[in-house]
A and B are shown apart, each in its own frame.
Chain A
Amino acid sequence: GENVEQHPSTLSVQEGDSAVIKCTYSDSASNYFPWYKQELGKRPQLIIDIRSNVGEKKDQRIAVTLNKTAKHFSLHITETQPEDSAVYFCAADAGGTSYGKLTFGQGTILTVHP
């Protein structure tokens, strides 16, 4: 089955700096890669996603890049703000008979210091 590794497990940055979280996946058939943000005590929420026919996608201060050859994808947050502090999860959907089932990374605790 699919295996998703996420790094780093914790990330601390100063307000205004950029933050980058990286994930690798094992199943070359994977074709959909969402990112979720989970604030303390709340449900995970989708913040951005990318499909395998696209190399990069941006939405205001966040962007995701995908390298299918290397089987890795990354989340980039620019001009970080204290409200970006949360746990971020990457995920991969293997497609085929597992279509729709997401395998999640272990999460990254992002702390943005004012």
Chain B
Amino acid sequence: GAGVSQSPSNKVTEKGKDVELRCDPISGHTALYWYRQSLGQGLEFLIYFQGNSAPDKSGLPSDRFSAERTGGSVSTLTIQRTQQEDSAVYLCASSSRAGGRGRRDGYTFGSGTRLTVV
């Protein structure tokens, strides 16, 4: 597609349930990122996939959070046993990345998934 697609756009779930959020990046973009944005807050890094390299999971807040990227394209972010503090907008972004330094494209963000845990 022309942009980064995320689904669902809104998700309301009960505390303790598991949720899966999906991100479909721009075709050909090798890098994919997940960020979280709580109400009125900045963008908190969660996880980063780049090609076939091991993902950078350093931002995942707990072991209840996991993500995978299949075939170098679609990614799913899974939150197990959701808690109320998980309520936020989850943003996915993708970018192209030329080998080495010297060239950079900015991120293209999806519209996000608004997760509400009740």
Residues of A near any B CB (own CB < 8 A): 1, 6, 31-32, 34, 36, 42-46, 49, 51, 89, 93, 95, 98-107
A-B contact count (CB 8 A): 54
Name the residue on A nearest B56 (C-beta): A101
Q: Which of B14-22, B40-48, B65-73, B77-85 contacts A (4 or more CB under 8 A)?
A: B40-48
Question: Is A95's CB under 8 angstroms from B48's CB?
Answer: no
Measured between alpha carbons, how far is A73 from B80 in the docked complex, in Å? 39
Residues of B near any A CB (own CB < 8 A): 31, 33, 35, 41-43, 45, 48, 50, 56, 58, 91, 95, 97, 101, 104, 106-112
Decide yes or no: A31 and B107 within 8 Å by CB, A43-B91, A105-B42 being known contacts: no
Question: Is A89's CB under 8 angstroms from B43's CB?
Answer: yes
Decide yes or no: A95 and B101 within 8 Å by CB, A43-B91, A43-B112 being known contacts: yes
Q: Which 8 A-B pairs have the closest CB atoms?
A: A46-B106, A106-B42, A104-B43, A43-B109, A101-B48, A34-B106, A107-B42, A32-B104
Q: Please name 4 further chain A to chain B contacts, defined as beta carbons within 8 Å, in addition to the given A44-B91, A100-B97, sorted by A numbering.
A: A43-B91, A46-B108, A89-B42, A101-B45
Measured between alpha carbons, how far is A44 from B106 in the docked complex, in Å? 11
Other-chain residue from A31, A36, A106, A107 in contact with B101 (beta carbon distance below 8 A): A31
Distance to closest chain B CB from A48 (angstroms):
9
Name the residue on A nearest B97 (C-beta): A100
Q: Which residues of B contact A107 (CB under 8 A)?
A: 41-42
